[in-house]
Amino acid sequence: MSLPPLVEPAAELTVDEIRRYSRHLIIPDVGVTGQKRLKNARVLCVGAGGLGSPALMYLAAAGVGTLGIIDFDTVDESNLQRQIIHGVSDIGRSKAESAAASIREINPLVNVEIHNTALDRDNVREIFAQYDLIVDGTDNFATRYMVNDAAVLLGKPYVWGSIYRFDGQASVFWAEHGPCYRCLYPEPPPPGMVPSCAEGGVLGVLCASIGSIQVNEAIKLLAGVGEPLVGRLMVYDALEMSYRKIKVRKDPNCVLCGENATLTDLMEDYEDFCGAVSVEAQEAVVDSTITAAELKEWQDAGKDIFLVDVREPAEYEIVRIPGATLIPKGEILSGEALAKLPQDKQVVLHCKSGVRSAEALAALKAAGFRDAVHVQGGVLSWIKQIDPSLPAY
């Protein structure tokens, strides 16, 4: 369905703006009026990472008058495979500052507002209220639900995107005209069910594919052209090179935007709601957690342990802790790997950061491996505390 323009047009375009945006101006559906609307628009991009990079660059090139960037992270070498708004010289620099510098190079006519802070329950409403439209480039469920809830409570539309390995999704959520994110996903997935990009990987160019779709939707909303993805979920498979659209209906029983909504304010704890680690895993790690330094001490002392790496084979190929045997978490959770584990040695589990190994530990405890432990911080802690020469990923 077509929707009215989200913003009013600016008073005029300067001679420089007419020259710069001439290819937009000659498109009948955009024209001078549409470009004036873009100039008058205020768009916030949540995250300057994989999706935020192409989104910010194309929003700037398109002439969106004010771009807000919220990101508290710093640029890491592993980001450069997909976060194209940053460069080698930006490593260690604030992502928000780095992105702002790139935007100014692309289009000095754009006003950039930096929010170099973590988005949380205390500031999300104040920050969102300053913008007409939100582009969501987040990579975790807790922030996604918070972005959705704040947008609905403020009556703001937002463009959502998600990426994983070769798969991408995009939609527009605007409770006034269609469903919200909770209508599509009323509950977050169980802890550990959906790996993050850091755990499962993502094809770098997929970020550009989904990020550019997000910008396309943003422009349509701001200028009031075309049919935005309100009430539709676009699913992209980069391996099959296929796109498909799925209808998403507004849920009359949605706790946030339904007819009898019960969620009338932001939740107290989104991390708890999304369960970064299951209750079983939280219980399992109590008194069953060791540090990377303790693991090294055990190895040096010749302690009789069986070290298990619960990551995926591709991760194991990149970097591994010496002496570890690869048994992916899925094989432990299914019970398939239990026969491979010795009964006469203490089992020590590790993953990349400690989340997956905690889930696997819970499964082992339930199967009778009472003295099993896991390594807090996993491979990342091993690299930091024991062997900085190993590649972080």
**375: CB partners within 8 A, 6+ apart:** 289, 290, 291, 292, 295, 348, 349, 350, 354, 357, 381, 382
What is the DSSP pairing of strand 289-290 with strand 242-247?
A: unpaired
> Do 348 and 324 form a contact (C-beta atoms < 8 A)?
no
> Do 255 and 36 form a contact (C-beta atoms < 8 A)?
no
Q: Is residue 254 annotated as a catalytic residue, yes or no?
A: no
State which H helix or E strand residue 43 sits in: strand 42-46
Interatomic CA distance for residues 187 and 46, integer angstroms: 22
DSSP three-state, residue 77: helix
Could you tell me where the DSSP H helices lie in 224-372? Answer: 270-274, 279-285, 292-300, 313-318, 329-334, 355-366
The one catalytic residue among 180, 183, 197, 207: 197
Compute, in degrees rounded to 10, the torsion defined by CA atoms 352, 281, 371, 364: -90
Residue 29 CB: number of other CB atoms within 10 A?
Answer: 11
**What is the Rg, in whole angstroms, of the alpha carbon atoms belonging to the chain?**
24
Q: Is residue 257 annotated as a catalytic residue, yes or no?
A: no
DSSP for 101-168, written as a single string: HHHHHH-TTSEEEEE-S---TTTHHHHHTT-SEEEE---SHHHHHHHHHHHHHHT--EEEEEEEBTEE
Tokens 């009789």, residue located: 304
Question: What amino acid positions are annotated as catalytic residues?
Answer: 197, 351
